[in-house]
Amino acid sequence: MALKLSVIIPCYNEKATIEEIIKRVRKVGLHHEIIVVDDGSTDGTREILQAMPPADDLRIIFHQENQGKGAAVRTGFAAATGDVFLIQDADLEYDPRDYPALLRPIEEGITKVVYGSRFLGGPRKSMFFWNMVANRILTLVTNILYDSILSDMETCYKVFKAEVVRDIPLRSRRFDFEPEITAKVLKRGYRIYEVPISYNGREWYEGKKIKWTDAPIALWTLIKYRFVD
């Protein structure tokens, strides 16, 4: 039996791309459901989503105020009904055409958790140098603290068998979600399988949101969850 895929799209102020990312996910045609969680958008994204015609494969959930990416993903996890959960950003940096490669290790029973890595040789747009440095440091700390060999802890493309994350208590509300979920998955003994993906990073003027100030928070999150749950 084919696994049912829930694609979870957290979004905040993505009016320029939200319709396109839904279109691209549908074009791949592997999803059971698409769950969009609008995290209190104020730029017109909310109105675009409200105007979308009803569809059996699309569920839209609205946060009344902005709570952060982590909170939006948690809302998506709680609403999802599939066997596999895949996190998809709404900003077009990540390409749904990578879904077959991301899902294959789970479908073949090799693993229950897959991350799409931007550093394993897939095609990519040049990244900001200091963003890359911060990512490398955070990934190194992850590997030291949790005895792993990841290449890209901060990737958006995180794919889980539903059973893996349903019982994990998640508390992070913003971009510290990435280190928290990684820490807790590794602490529970799940080995993360990485596959190369393409990456088309957007510029600051296009609305890129993560900032250097998020790096110290992510570092503290990794250290904290090494010792508490």
Residue 196's nearest CA partner among 131, 124, 106 is 124
Please provide the DSSP assignment of 44-99 as one string. SHHHHHHTSPP-TTEEEEEESS---HHHHHHHHHHH--SSEEEE--SSSSS-GGGH
Q: What is the pLDDT of residues 164-220, one digit of tens each?
A: 998 899 988 777 899 999 999 999 999 999 999 999 875 544 445 556 567 788 899
Q: Where are the domains of the chain?
A: 5-227
pLDDT class for 130, splitting at 50, 70, 90? Answer: low
Using only C-alpha atoms, the chain has a radius of gyration, in whole angstroms, of: 16
**CATH class of the domain at 5-227:** alpha beta
pTM of the model: 0.91
Residues 7, 35 contacting (CB under 8 angstroms) = yes
Residue 143 has pLDDT above 70, yes or no: yes
Q: How far apart are CA 195 and CA 87, in angstroms?
A: 15
Residue 151 has pLDDT above 60, yes or no: yes
Q: What is the pLDDT of residues 57-69, one digit of tens each?
A: 999 999 999 999 9
Beta strands in the chain (DSSP E): 5-11, 33-39, 58-63, 84-87, 113-117, 158-161, 193-196
